[in-house]
Amino acid sequence: MVKVGIIGGSGLDDPNILKDAKEISVETPYGPPTSVPVCGSIEGVDVAIIARHGKDHSIYPTKVNFRANIWALKEQGCTHILASTAVGSLREEIAPGHLVFPDQFIDHTRKREVTFFDENTVVHTPMAEPFCQDLIELLSLSAESLNVPYHKNKTVITIEGPRFSTKAESHMFRSWNADIINMSTVPEVILAREKKLHYAAIAMSTDYDCWHEEEEPVTWEMIVEVMKENADHVIKLFTDVIPKIKEYSDICVQ
């Protein structure tokens, strides 16, 4: 049975996209998730939504309880996760408003709990292909059908935050072959893989970080404005791709 978890970033955790939405309280060994999961359905497919930074966006990146969020979605029976996130672009061709479906990450965080296996049992999880390629392909097909500009199979670098990069750091990340930058994909994708969940990020480019000399340095206000302007694209993508996830999974099972 397919159930899709949505981890919503800025403006993309709206329970109104669900039919028959209701809150389901969940207790986890890691404390409470950052919001009470809201469960319902999209186009007949069961869905659960968690707001990554809290419903009032009051939780800064390092304090997000990533383990509780992933554990709660797994406990609710989720098999797949679509995680929306705002990102800065490190490449000219990834313009603000474009969507990106990364297939690799670079971890530049320092203070986060990055595994479920930190007591009693040591498990070394393969991480060569951290994102679900099948989901990336389905997202790409949906974006194409909706005429939404997108890029796939790119590398995201996750920094600690909450500050933005210096110009020196931004140029360094470009030299590392990172394509986009955010503060939330790690350890979320790692934990999802440990729980054997199919995970894909729907990253929305909001700015050119600070490497781009012809653009103003990024501000939070700039990010929010672009997210508001383009949130409909992501919501349409959710609505279009979620039934395809179930259809594809049903075919694969047969």
Positions marked active-site: 207, 209
Residues ≥6 apart with Cβ < 8 Å to 10: 53, 57, 86, 223, 224, 227
Q: Taking Cα atoms as reference points, which of 85, 86, 102, 95 lies closest to residue 153?
A: 102
Place of tokens 């030299």: 175
- Inter-residue contact 160 to 61 (CB < 8 Å): yes
- Inter-residue contact 48 to 6 (CB < 8 Å): yes
Place of tokens 């909001």: 206
Phi then psi dihedrals of residue 92, to 5 deg: -55, -40
- Within 10 angstroms of residue 208's Cβ, the number of other Cβ atoms is 22
